[in-house]
Structure 1
Amino acid sequence: MTDANTFISEQQHIENLASQLSMSPQTLAQLHEYGVSISQSLKLEYFFYTDAQSKALSLSESLVKLGYTSELGQLEDEPGIYLITGWSTPTQAASDKINEWTALMCSLGFKHDCEFDGWGTNPDQ
């Protein structure tokens, strides 16, 4: 049974983790097309959503402790929904490293009742 104040259930977390892990190889393939090698490390831009400022702040604090930048704000077009975004420290552009990082982000989000909504990067860093 899900608490009424829960933004992401355990089942949603499991499904999101599988979805995120399935998308990472496609994103990496595009980066490799742009000349990024698997030995290269890039800062990754991340995105999380949640339904309470306190949850967003808690996640943001945890991300900053990892050495990441973090910003949060309420969505204008969806009142009551918060976006947490920022940049990671450099992460190696190899599939195993990206999958480890993606799993960490999904778990960290779930711990703070936030949903990890994926990542992106700029190949020209």
Structure 2
Amino acid sequence: MSELEQEIAEQLEINRETVEALLEDGSDADAEYTLEHHFASDNFDRLEKLAVDAFKKGFEVTDAEELELEEGGMLICCDVIAKSPLNIEKIDQQTQEMFALAEKHDVHYDGWGTYFIE
């Protein structure tokens, strides 16, 4: 298994754990959720190309932000926003699409987050 395949497998497991935790905590199973897929790079141009590509695919993209690392250096980060029910198959499909975008543009995909909905 390649390093990328291992990362994807780990993220798919995290997807299941996240969805299960939200549902166990009482989050609305039928709501539409805003998923924030996180990307980072030390190269603004690559991240910008990813953002344009994601926008062309119909996703909303947040403005890039600089993040100073503890060891020095900077990362540029942005989120690609998607709407989805807490449907693991759809979230897994989005996750794989995000990994493909990250690989295409040589940036780091750092998973996704969302918010509890009552």
Indicate whether 1:35 and 2:27 are aligned.
yes
Indicate whether 1:70 and 2:82 are aligned.
no
Q: Alpha carbon RMSD of aligned pairs, Å?
A: 1.9
Is the contact between residue 62 and residue 78 of structure 2 (CA under 8 Å) also seen in structure 1?
yes
> Structure 2: how far apart are the matches of 1:87 and 1:67?
6
The C-alpha deviation readout for 1:54-84, integer Å capped at 9, x for no partner, is 0010111122222313221222225242212
Give 1:86 deviation, angstroms: 4.3
Is the contact between residue 33 and residue 85 of structure 2 (CA under 8 Å) also seen in structure 1?
yes
Equivalences, count: 113
Residue of structure 1 in register with 2:113 after alignment: 120
For structure 2, the 5+ residue unaligned runs are none
TM-score relative to the length of structure 2 = 0.83
> Structure 1: how far apart are the matches of 2:5 and 2:59?
26
Residue of structure 1 in register with 2:73 after alignment: 79
> Structure 1: how far apart are the matches of 2:93 and 2:12?
9
TM-score relative to the length of structure 1 = 0.79
Identity of aligned residues (%): 24
Structure 1: 4+ residue segments shifted above 6 A: none
> Structure 2: how far apart are the matches of 1:115 and 1:97?
21
> Structure 2: how far apart are the matches of 1:120 and 1:55?
22
> Structure 2: how far apart are the matches of 1:101 and 1:67?
11
For structure 1, the 5+ residue unaligned runs are 1-10
Is the contact between residue 52 and residue 80 of structure 1 (CA under 8 Å) also seen in structure 2?
no
